[in-house]
């Protein structure tokens, strides 16, 4: 794998000249119920990015450990959230500097649902400022329809659920407190409005983490890495569309 932070300036320049992708894992630091560590989303986004880069040779930037987690409010300890405008500005700055190092393809690999709007807004600005930058935003939990269905088996609006807990049991069991896992149903099903987390869960959990197993986590992680590696390969090979000549 190629970690940006462990490479020299010559090595980074060479990777950019070879057409390697720049991969930015985007996570969060936020409450994940009484049983999971607050860095879960960052750990998962970074792990999947690094594991995929082992196959593709692309360069992984240091993970962004803070995201837009306003929906958790201050109901529970542990959440450190950026405002959307702050996150957009941070991502645009990172995109500019990545571009300045020679990279022309940037993939944001996201691990937290409500990071989507700030990431997409940052991409809109970067595309405007840097017309030859080719960005992509993707969340690990919906890399494929099958992965999205697997993530949401116990809750459509999942948080700290079986899928996330299973993956942490496999990757970092010391960051899981299984005896403290609390199951709560998804109370947003059938609703048309949006709700902050304290309106839909007492524990900060949505789903059934008590059913998690390390083996299921390993299986899901394999699927995530396979899907991301395939996407990175397609992105690296992709060329701009050829437009017909002007009449």
pLDDT by residue (tens digit) across 9-37?
Answer: 999 999 999 999 999 999 999 999 999 99
Q: How many residues does the chain have?
A: 247
Give me the pLDDT at residue 247, please. 83
Radius of gyration of the chain (CA): 19
Domains within the chain, CATH numbers bracketed: 2-234 (3.40.50.10310)
> Tokens 């879960």 sit at which residue?
40
The SS3 call for residue 230 is: helix
Global pTM exceeds 0.85 = yes
* C-alpha–C-alpha distance, residues 78 and 33, integer Å: 10
Comparing C-alpha atoms, which of 143, 139, 155, 151 is closest to residue 204? 155
Give me the pLDDT at residue 110, please. 98
> Tokens 């057409």 sit at which residue?
19
Residue 123 confidence class, pLDDT cut points 50, 70, 90: very high
The SS3 call for residue 44 is: helix
Give me the pLDDT at residue 134, please. 98
* C-alpha–C-alpha distance, residues 13 and 10, integer Å: 5
Mean pLDDT of 196-206: 98
Which tokens in the block code for residue 227?
Answer: 């899907």
Chain center to CA of 211: 23
């Amino acid at each position: 794998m190629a970690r940006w932070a462990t490479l020299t300036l010559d090595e980074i320049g060479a990777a950019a000249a070879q057409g390697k992708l720049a991969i930015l894992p985007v996570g969060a630091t936020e409450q994940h119920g009484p049983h999971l560590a607050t860095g879960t989303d960052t750990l998962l986004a970074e792990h999947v990015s690094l594991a995929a880069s082992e196959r593709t040779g692309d360069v992984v930037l240091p993970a962004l450990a803070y995201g837009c987690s306003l929906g958790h409010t201050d109901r529970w300890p542990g959440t450190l959230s950026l405002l959307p405008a702050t996150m957009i500005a941070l991502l645009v700055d990172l995109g500019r500097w990545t571009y300045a190092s020679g990279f022309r393809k940037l993939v944001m690999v996201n691990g937290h649902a409500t990071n989507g709007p700030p990431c997409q807004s940052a991409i809109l600005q970067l595309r405007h400022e840097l017309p030859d930058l080719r960005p992509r935003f993707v969340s690990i939990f919906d890399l494929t329809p099958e992965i999205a269905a697997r993530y949401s088996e116990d809750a459509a609006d999942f948080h700290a659920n079986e899928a996330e807990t299973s993956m942490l049991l496999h990757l970092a069991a010391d960051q899981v407190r299984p005896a403290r896992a609390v199951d709560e149903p998804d109370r947003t099903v059938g609703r048309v409005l949006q709700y902050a987390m304290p309106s839909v869960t007492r524990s900060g959990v949505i789903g059934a983490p008590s059913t998690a197993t390390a083996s299921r986590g390993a299986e899901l992680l394999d699927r995530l890495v396979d899907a991301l590696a395939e996407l990175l390969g397609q992105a690296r090979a992709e060329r701009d569309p050829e437009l017909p000549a002007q009449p």
